[in-house]
């Protein structure tokens, strides 16, 4: 759309309608000391074709994500996304990421979420999965909060191989509210996380493949955590790796959090992405987010509804497991 400026006559007419004389009258509530009276020193305007040339020159300095390297533990990947994916998610039947509060008119969306949860549970080797979280980093923080509720303990141990951005998000969530032990982030000096588990530990957080591309011994971590009554949270930034690796659930993980960007999303300049969470059946009531369940309607037909809704939109805020709202689950 081209820019068509207002004429002096049009500006005067609009000011007259609201009872103002000049444009400065619109800012009369701003203290004079806060107004800038000096020249901003902006360059003179340029013809349209020169502006386009300038913007093209700026764009040429960018590095395309497709041309750069992708590290297995870094959480953003360029995989082939079939054209049908973009087509399907734009269909009007379910073009929304909003919570399907009315099951009577949302059976398509609810069934999609149910099937999605089923696949995530199978992929991670866990009993149950929710209908997604914001992304992998906030999902990790939610898993830590969940572990504290389950164990009634306050100490969390983060492995040195956990993505540094994930560590920062966990710190932000738990600031001044938990004992957080972050092991060395240097690949040469990663302390043995098993030595940091004690009877006050709620959970240990281990990423595999970790930020440096190392595969971690999940079975050993699970055994050590369970011996002290702690939980094991496994973080996976490249969920496609589960097509090759043994599922964390089969190795003893209690909560699995993953970044789902690589199973259908483009790089999107770093977000929004897709958080995955799965856990054991006995922990289901402390799992944050939405959970879609299968049921039977009044006529005996198969149907789908949101169940065990412990979000703050559904129950009292102080009783909620999380305040997660509408996200990019679609």
In a domain, 89, yes or no: no
DSSP type of residue 183: P
In a domain, 72, yes or no: no
Q: How many residues does the chain have?
A: 330
The reported pTM is 0.81
In a domain, 166, yes or no: yes
**Does residue 186 have a pLDDT over 70?**
no
| Mean pLDDT, range 95-112, rounded to an integer | 77
| Mean pLDDT, range 132-139, rounded to an integer | 93
Helix axis angle, 164-174 to 136-151, nearest 10°: 50
**Does residue 108 have a pLDDT over 80?**
yes
- CA 113 from centroid of its chain's CA atoms: 17
State which residues form the domain around 196: 104-319
- Asked if 237 contacts 258 with a C-beta cutoff of 8 angstroms, the reply is yes
| Number of structural domains the chain divides into | 1
**Does residue 94 have a pLDDT over 80?**
no
Residues in contact with 54: Cβ distance below 8 Å, sequence separation at least 6, in sequence order:
46
Q: pLDDT for 212-258, tens place per residue?
A: 999 999 999 999 999 999 999 999 999 999 999 999 999 999 999 99
* pLDDT band with cut points at 50, 70 and 90 for residue 266: confident
Q: What is the CATH number of the domain that holds 109?
A: 3.40.640.10
**Does residue 157 have a pLDDT over 70?**
yes
Cα separation values, 165 from 84, 137, 185, 205, 302, Å: 32, 7, 12, 14, 42
In a domain, 220, yes or no: yes
Q: Lowest mean pLDDT of 65-74, 95-104, 153-162, 274-283, name the range.
A: 95-104
Geometric angle at alpha carbon 212, from 210 and 215, rounded to 5°: 45
């Amino acid at each position: 759309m081209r820019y068509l400026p207002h004429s002096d006559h049009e500006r005067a007419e609009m000011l007259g309608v609201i009872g103002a004389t000049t444009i400065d009258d619109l800012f009369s509530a701003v203290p004079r000391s806060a107004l800038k009276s000096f020249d901003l020193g902006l360059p003179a305007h340029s013809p349209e074709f020169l502006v386009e040339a300038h913007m093209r020159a700026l764009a040429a300095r960018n590095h395309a994500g497709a041309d750069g390297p992708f590290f297995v533990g870094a959480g953003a990947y360029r995989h082939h996304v079939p054209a049908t994916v973009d087509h399907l998610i734009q269909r009007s039947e379910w073009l929304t990421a909003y919570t399907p509060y009315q099951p009577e008119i949302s059976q398509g969306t609810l069934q999609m979420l149910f099937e999605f949860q089923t696949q995530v549970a199978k992929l991670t080797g866990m009993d149950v999965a929710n209908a997604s979280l914001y992304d992998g980093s906030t999902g990790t923080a939610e898993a830590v909060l969940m572990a504290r509720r389950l164990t009634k303990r306050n100490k969390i141990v983060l492995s040195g191989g956990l993505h540094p951005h994930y560590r920062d998000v966990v710190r932000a969530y738990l600031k001044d509210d938990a004992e957080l032990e972050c092991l060395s982030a240097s690949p040469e000096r990663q302390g043995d996380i098993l030595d940091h588990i004690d009877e006050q530990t709620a959970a240990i957080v281990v990423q595999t493949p970790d930020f440096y591309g190392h595969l971690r011994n999940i079975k050993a971590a699970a055994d050590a955590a369970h011996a002290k009554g702690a939980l094991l949270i496994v973080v996976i930034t490249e969920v496609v790796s589960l097509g090759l690796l043994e599922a964390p659930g089969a190795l003893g993980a209690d909560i699995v959090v993953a970044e789902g960007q690589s199973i259908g999303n483009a790089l999107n300049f770093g977000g929004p992405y897709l958080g995955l969470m799965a856990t054991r059946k006995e922990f289901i009531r402390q799992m944050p987010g939405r959970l879609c369940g299968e049921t039977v309607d009044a006529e005996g037909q198969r149907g789908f509804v949101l169940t065990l809704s412990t979000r703050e939109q559904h129950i009292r805020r102080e009783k909620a497991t999380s305040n997660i709202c509408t996200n990019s689950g679609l």
